[in-house]
Structures are given as C-alpha cells and as structure tokens.
Amino acid sequence: MNATTILMRGLWKENPVFRLLLGLCPTLAVTTGVLNGLGMGLASTFVLICSNVMVSLLRSFIPKKVRIPAYIVVIASFVTVVDLVMHAYLFELHRSLGLFIPLIVVNCVILGRAEAFAGRNSAGWALLDGVGMGLGFTLGLMVLGAVRELLGSGSLLGVQILGDAAPRLLVMILPPGAFLTLGFLLAGMNALEEKRAIRAGEAYAPPREMDCGSCVLCRLHENLEQPD
C-alpha cells in the first residue's frame, strides 16, 4: 500500500459516486446546484474521516458479530455533531441542506468504507482513505450539481451564465434530472475507460462494482464466516 494510491483512488478509479455507486440517496437528492453539492460533500467527508479513524481505532475492541451496529452508532454520533454544529454556525447552509444531513447516517459510502477498509487497517491509512473517498464523493456531487444547475437554471454557483435566450430544462432540477445526468455521466466514464483499455491493449471488463451482488453490504454473510 502506498499513500498516494489510497488518496487518489477515491477521485477516479474507485470514485464512490461514479465507480462504486454508493451513497446515491444524497447524490441524487441534493445535487440541484454546485453549492449544495459542495456543502453536502464536505459534511459527508467530515463524517467519513471521523468515522473511519474512530472505527479503525476501535477495530480490536468491536466484536466482529456486532460490528455493524457499532459502526452505525459511531457514524450517527458524528452526523449529529455535524448537524448541530452546522445549525449553530452555518445557519444559511443548514437551512438549505438541513433535511439531508440526517441522511448521511444511511450514506452507504460511510458504512461501506468502515466495513471494507477502516475496520481492517490502521488509523493512518483509514484517515487517508476517508480523505480520498470524501473528496471523490464531493467531486462527484459537484460535477452532478454543475451539470444540473447549468442546464436547469442556466447558472453556476448561483451566477447566471447562460443568457435569457437559452432554454432552461426544468426537468434537470427535478428528481428525474438527477437520474438522467448520472446515467449519461456513467455511460461517458465507461466509454472513456473502455477506450483507454483498448488503447493500452488490455481486456476491458465493465465495472464489476455496478453489479449489486458484488456490493460489500450484500456479502456481509460471507464476511462473517471468514476466520478472525
């Protein structure tokens, strides 16, 4: 393992939004604008880093059989802290994201990283993994938000970019726009990956992560049966 790989893989190779397809609930719900995506991404990143480090430190204390409830308690606690602190000191942002903050608890990225990485590695690595995955998640949310804000309201970061003559696609800021944007972005990323693989002369296999059967959470049973 080396630090750069762990840090960078969250940005593209194992990007939580575009490659692992984890945490889609907040991804689809809050990305009506770049700013919302940034706020949600940073809040999730904070929770992810804290929970990764905490889970990693507690990994010998938490019994394997009750690790999922233990992880959830850790994650929910940090989410509540974020919610309270944002409410107190970032009132405006909290007003636009308020509804979605509690949803971070059920964001699979965080539980997924706790289960797949933090619970098996030392705190330093877990911290790096949290930073990388968190930034990758934030990046994904911002890209989605940028596309939807530009096409739907003709602005970026709240600043009008397209003139009044350009059509506004209302559907892009509504929930279906989230699915459409994500679908096109995923198709684009797959096409790029395929091209790269062919140019490099590698055999191209479609991303296995997109098959739900390979999701960590669907294989809890297998993991339980692994010897300690």
Which residues of the shown chain bind another protein in the complex (CB under 8 A)? 32-33, 36, 58, 61-63, 65-66, 69-70, 73-74, 76-77, 80-81, 84-85, 87-89, 91, 96, 99, 149, 152-153, 170, 173-174
CB of 55 to another protein, least distance (A): 11
Cα–Cα distance for residue pair 125/116, rounded to 1 Å:
12
Residue 37 CA neighbour count, 13 Å, CB half = 28
- Which of residues 153 and 181 has its CB atom nearest to another protein in the complex? 153
CB of 158 to another protein, least distance (A): 10
- Which of residues 63 and 227 has its CB atom nearest to another protein in the complex? 63
| Backbone torsions φ then ψ of 98, nearest 5 degrees | -40, -45
| 144: its two tokens | 């989605």
- Which of residues 80 and 223 has its CB atom nearest to another protein in the complex? 80
- Which of residues 72 and 131 has its CB atom nearest to another protein in the complex? 72
Measure Cα distances from 74 to 6, 46, 106, 133 in Å.
23, 13, 12, 18
Cα–Cα distance for residue pair 110/23, rounded to 1 Å:
8
CB of 195 to another protein, least distance (A): 34
CB of 97 to another protein, least distance (A): 10
Q: Which of 145, 135, 141 is nearest to 103 (CA)?
A: 141
Q: Which of 155, 136, 205, 126 is nearest to 32 (CA)?
A: 155
CB of 35 to another protein, least distance (A): 10
- Which of residues 128 and 147 has its CB atom nearest to another protein in the complex? 147
